[in-house]
Amino acid sequence: MPFRVNQLYYIAPIENIRSIIEKGVLSHDAAQQVGHFTIYDKDVLAHRLSKLVGERSLSSYANLFFQPSNSMLFSLLKKFNPDDIIVVGVSPSILDHPAAMVTNGNAATSNTLFFPSSIRRKALKECEEALLVPSWSPEEKSRRMAECLYPDLVPPDQIRRLYVRSRESKQKVVHELDGTNFPEDNIVIEEEMFFESSRNRVLGAHLSVKSGDMFLSRMQTLTISVNCVGAMGRGQASTARHYFPDLHTKYRQLCIDGQLKLGKPYLYKQPTSRGLFDDYLTSEDEGWFLLFPTKNHFKDPASLEGIREGLNWVRDNYHCEGIKSLAVPALGCGLGWLKWRDVWPVIKDSLMGVNIPVEVYLPSQPFISDSEIL
């Protein structure tokens, strides 16, 4: 399966996060002007300060990674408290900036090549294998640190997600961002990104329950919880609206036309080539979405019976609709006010027998114990 450019990633200490959300992801030169705490190795930093990219210093670019789970993050987690490290997810649309650069490895390494982002496919093709593997060999170490270099600063409106290692870390971030407009729903616990054992309970031949960010799933079709009045203002739906404007437009039209109803999801098959996924590294059938109504009005509680009917529709129609694999959130939990203990049996009963891979993602809050995933 090809590597997806879901986002670009910046690694930072939590104590800088409020400034990052307010000012953007800064280059090293710009960060020095606002007094950011530096976590990078002094020798590595000195080398980057001395290196030129064309007529600019490497330190005048904000550096973001295509794969955050790399050797730099690994070393930082050994040096600092892992709960004090955060990974900032940035929209890949910054690659369209005419001055952005892409590397085929660690930008500070002598044999790394630099490419204009307009021909990024050449750079990424060279390091695709290293970006995909769960661990890396010494030969792949630099390639796994392939970077996007963005001049001066990445604007704050390009920041999409914040990834942390634990619930304790998330609470630290929530505290740091108190009074800002950054949505708490977009602060995601993603243990696997931080080299932790991610929760992944396999049930039956094809069904698994996972923790983490559903938008990082490799399933062909992502399920988006929605209401029937066209509002995507909060939660997972808000994330989908920002990442996929075409999906939002289609969703609103379905609601205006009265086509989206409880018990009958809508499968949006338009392949996604922009937004969350990079146009070069996606396959033809990636980017499908299942718009899944869980309530009529956004102010209503979610309907457990409506969720049951919708899941039964999926069970009865996935094959003829061409769904090859499916990611499903904890439907109706969170903003829908339903409890996992009530929703999970409905999901399991409907989807346990389907003959395609299905990933069900746990709610971020509250914590779900292993005994509740049976």
Q: Which residues does the annotation mark as catalytic?
A: 48, 147
Q: Which two tokens stand for residue 296?
A: 């009529």
- Give alpha helix (H) positions in the chain: 17-23, 28-34, 42-50, 71-79, 120-132, 167-176, 235-243, 245-256, 304-321, 340-351
Count of beta carbons in the 10 Å neighbourhood of residue 174 = 14
* Beta carbons of 250 and 268 less than 8 angstroms apart: yes
Q: Which regions of the chain does DSSP assign to beta strands (E)?
A: 8-13, 25-26, 52-53, 56-57, 61-65, 85-90, 101-103, 114-116, 147-151, 153-154, 159-164, 187-189, 200-203, 207-210, 221-226, 266-268, 288-293, 326-328, 358-361
Angle (nearest 5°) at CA 301 between 298 and 305: 115
Measure Cα distances from 156 to 88, 161, 239, 264, 320 in Å.
11, 11, 16, 37, 43
How far apart, in whole angstroms, are the C-alpha atoms of residue 311 and residue 344? 12
Residue 109 burial (10 A CB sphere; 0-12, 13-18, 19+): middle
How far apart, in whole angstroms, are the C-alpha atoms of residue 313 and residue 330? 17
Closest CA to 172 of 159, 183, 187, 192: 187
